[in-house]
Amino acid sequence: MKPRATRDAFGETLERLGAEEPRIVVLDADLSESTRSFKFGNAFPDRFFQMGIAEANMLGTAAGLAATGRIAFCCSFSCFVTSRFDQIKVSLAYNDARVTIVGTHAGCGVGPDGYTQMALEDVALLRTLPNMTVLQPADDLEATQVVEYLVREHPGGPSFLRLTRQKVPRIHDESYSWQFGRIDVLRQGKDLAICATGATVHGALEAAARLADEGVQCTVANIHTIKPLDGEAVAELARSTGHVMVVEDHAVTGGLGSAVCEALCEAGATAPVHRVALREFGESGSTEELFGKHHLDGPGIYTEARSFLERF
């Protein structure tokens, strides 16, 4: 399989599901080409709402549509839509609206557009809302199944689907069956657990393979469901390896790294945790350069793992 962006899988899946589920409505804020929501819009123009560059109004409108029994998808770059936090808090979450916020172009993976187009705080923000579900697929196959879940099985309430602009390699084989709320253990080892999410998972696998060649056995867990996090499973990773690393294309504060620390503390599982994430503003550059700079790619994760294991 060629690498594909998770937003591509999203756009195709939503278009396909539009035919079987008439309750789906899709809203976009002048980025429908980029978010791939235009595919649904072309196929089902009556159920697609082009809201213009007005994300707050888009979110509220989606909440109102959800109140009439619809399954709404609100699409934009993650940075622009999740920064309307008060609308997400009140219009969506407090109304328990069945709206999926589709935030594409997550993290510094956006690349050359620079910091203002990078959502680096979105997971931290949305994770605070009691009824919010936060999902981040690691490849196109997983993204497809996540969208199917959101349409066919999600019990309701707001959700956040975090997607990449950049292409990511397929890490699952065709037989993969995504499980909501679980962690996806991709390989197992006794020395170190690497928890990764979204676009960093394939780099974690690459680093683990190199570490294995050098005799260090790693568990690699793909954390696609960031909220609700399977805290007990994460605690078990800590107990079985004694060392936990978390890698994410997000600010170091408040994201998956913080969620893992919280889960370990609450479970009484003691292990040092090393968080690999952005500790500064983003900047322009290619995705590869930025992932390299922030140690979110295979070589970077390898380096971080080595220094972590030296320190503990």
Kindly give, in sequence order, each residue whose CB lies less than 8 Å from that of residue 277, ignoring residues fewer than 6 positions away: 246, 247, 248, 249, 250, 251, 252, 255, 257, 294, 296
Name the DSSP class of 194. Answer: E
Site string for another protein, 78-117 (x = CB under 8 A): --------xx-xxx--xxx---------------------
Catalytic residue among 12, 15, 55, 206: 55
Cβ closest to another protein, residue 16 vs residue 89: 89
For residue 169, the Cα-to-chain-centroid distance in whole angstroms is: 15
Q: Which amino acid is at 168?
A: V
Of the pair 3, 45, the CB lying nearest another protein is at 45
Residues 6 or more apart in contact with residue 89 via CB below 8 angstroms: 129
CA distance 181 to 230: 6
Residues in the interface with another protein (CB under 8 A) total 31
Name the residue type at position 276.
V
Of the two residues 51 and 235, which places its CB atom closer to another protein in the complex? 51
Say whether residue 49 binds another protein (CB under 8 A).
yes
Among 25, 108, 119, 183, binds another protein (CB under 8 A): 25
The residue assigned the tokens 């888009």 is 58
- Residue 296 CA to residue 278 CA, distance in Å, equals 9
In whole angstroms, the minimum distance from the beta carbon of 84 to another protein comes to 9
> Which listed residue (4, 36, 39, 47) binds another protein by CB under 8 A?
47
- Helix 6-20 to helix 140-152 angle (10° resolution) is 30
Query: Kind and range of the H or E element at 290?
Result: helix 287-293
Q: Which of 11, 60, 255, 300 binds another protein (CB under 8 A)?
A: 60
Picking from 57, 6, 15, 70, the residue whose alpha carbon sits closest to that of residue 38 is 15
Q: Report the nearest approach of another protein to the CB of residue 213 (Å).
A: 54
Shortest distance, position 97 Cβ to another protein, whole Å: 9
Q: How far is the CB of 101 from another protein (least distance, A)?
A: 14
Q: Is 68 in the site for another protein (CB under 8 A)?
A: yes
Q: Is 55 a catalytic residue?
A: yes
Smaller CB distance to another protein: residue 68 or 177?
68
Closest by CA to 246, choosing from 263, 232, 266, is 263
Shortest Cβ distance from residue 47 to another protein (Å)? Answer: 7
Binding residues (CB under 8 A) for another protein: these are 25, 46-47, 49, 51-52, 54, 56-70, 72, 86-87, 89-91, 94-96
Residues classed as catalytic:
55
